[in-house]
A and B are shown apart, each in its own frame.
Chain A
Amino acid sequence: MQQIINFIIRYKNFLLYILLMIISLGFTIQSHSYHQSRFFNSSNWVTGNILRTSNNVTTYFGLDQENQRLMEENERLRYLLFNKSSLDTVALDSVQQTYTVTTGKVIKNSYAHPRNYITINQGEKDSVKPDMGVITSKGILGIVENVSNNFATVQSILNEKSNINAKIKNTDHFGSLVWDMKRFDVVQLVDIPRLVPLTIGDTIVTGGMSSIFPEGIPIGTIRKFDLNSSQSFYSIDVTLFNDMTNIKNVYIVNNRYREEILELQNQTEADDK
């Protein structure tokens, strides 16, 4: 007994170090699974408010640019609106729409890590829930991962865990959008079969397989493509439309039927077993 106590006293620093190391590795590895740890994210109250305060100051510097961007988007939307032949107000009834959209502002952005998360200033209070899609006027941004009362963290498409259904515009060949952690303006589209005709510069948009994003949200253009090691699928580099380093205003997209779709899919899978 004496010896055990002596041992503990002698190596107390080492034991403390090992204990703390196990705690931090525990937190790290736990969040390697699908969801981030509930508390280890910047959407909690303290960090969220500090980041928001700092953001309130810094937003003023980019106001001109941001206004310009919103004007351009309005212009494009007006153009679509004026050229739409019939404006049936019944069709605009919110009960009949699949997707609803909320606006939000980025208060923390990151793109230099293998796992990048973006914090936005909308939370549970604004009925934002995990797994909603987040887009900007130019293209997709990511998926909501954690939500607190006033804030939410978004898993950026620049995240090695990110995996989004995407397709080549005007065809129905779809693949998965992933990131190889190398450049913040290039992501990879994999699993496009070899028989698909591709050209550099083709547009990539979101596919209809996902219950998160509406079909046809722009992502980027093909930068280069190669066959993968098995020679049967393409691995495509996609240049993003979004400048991931400079994002202010975002839209949060909610699919009203997501739960119904998921439930149905789960039921089918369960029946298979």
Chain B
Amino acid sequence: MISNYYILNVLRFILLVLVQVLVFNRLNFFGFINPMVYILFLYWYPIKENRAAFIGLGFLLGLAIDFFSDTMAIHTASTITIAYIRPAIMRFVFGVNFEFQSFKLSNTTQVQQITFLTLLILVHHLVFFTLEIFSLANFLLVLKKVLATGAATLILCLLFGSLFSVRKE
């Protein structure tokens, strides 16, 4: 069972990176929207895991994407940020429930799951586009990119989520 579960996560990691760099990085919807579906990895990742390992994985994930997209280390900075603050977001969304041993993502309501995903995407995109554009003068451009790309990412992540729903782990 244990090895099964590792294989699942490794496969998920590789597939999401490949799908991201080979398909979604080239989408350029309306000329600038490239949804970042690899965030799903951090959304799906088991909750009761070592936090340090989780941040480390976020670092590797971001690094892999950065290598392919010539974006320096911007993806990395955003993935470690959401990896670090994920517990805080979860406490905010799920309340005290999330502290219990029996807590499972699949047991929560749809609204809670979507809120959780939306907050992850929002934080990630804010960090990403702020670093990418790197100037306060273009704050409106940052906002526009965050909202447009965020909406596209959210829709695609929800579609992917319903296609490959998390098995009851």
Flag B24-59 by CB within 8 Å of A: 1 or 0 each: 011010011110000000000000000110011001
- Complex Cα–Cα for A110 and B69 (A): 8
Once A20-B59, A110-B25 are accepted as A-B contacts, the answer to whether A181 and B72 lie under 8 Å apart by CB is no
Q: How many residues of A contact B (CB 8 A)?
A: 43
Once A54-B22, A184-B31 are accepted as A-B contacts, the answer to whether A13 and B52 lie under 8 Å apart by CB is yes
Q: How many residues of B contact A (CB 8 A)?
A: 37
Say yes or no: is A17 at the interface (Cβ < 8 Å to chain B).
yes
- Complex Cα–Cα for A116 and B31 (A): 13
The residue in chain A whose Cβ has the minimal distance to the Cβ of B23 is A54
Contact across chains for A21 and B77 when beta carbons are under 8 A apart: yes
Q: Shortest beta-carbon distance, A63 to chain B, in Å?
A: 18
Q: Shortest beta-carbon distance, A195 to chain B, in Å?
A: 30
Contact across chains for A245 and B67 when beta carbons are under 8 A apart: no
* Among B100-108, B110-118, B130-138, the stretch in contact with A: B130-138
Contact across chains for A110 and B77 when beta carbons are under 8 A apart: no
Contact across chains for B55 and A40 when beta carbons are under 8 A apart: no
Say yes or no: is A266 at the interface (Cβ < 8 Å to chain B).
no
Contact across chains for A42 and B31 when beta carbons are under 8 A apart: no
**Cβ–Cβ < 8 Å partners of A153 in chain B:** 70
> Can you show 25 pairs from A to B with CB atoms below 8 A apart?
A20-B80, A21-B77, A23-B73, A25-B77, A27-B73, A28-B73, A36-B70, A36-B72, A40-B67, A40-B70, A40-B72, A41-B67, A42-B68, A42-B69, A44-B67, A50-B22, A51-B68, A54-B22, A112-B28, A112-B31, A112-B34, A114-B134, A119-B70, A181-B133, A184-B32
Residues in B lying within 8 Å of A, measured CB to CB = 18, 21-22, 25-26, 28, 31-34, 51-52, 55-56, 59, 62, 66-74, 76-77, 80-81, 83-84, 131-134, 138, 141
Residues in A lying within 8 Å of B, measured CB to CB = 12-14, 16-17, 20-21, 23-28, 31-32, 36-37, 40-42, 44, 46-47, 50-51, 54, 108-117, 119, 153, 181-184, 245
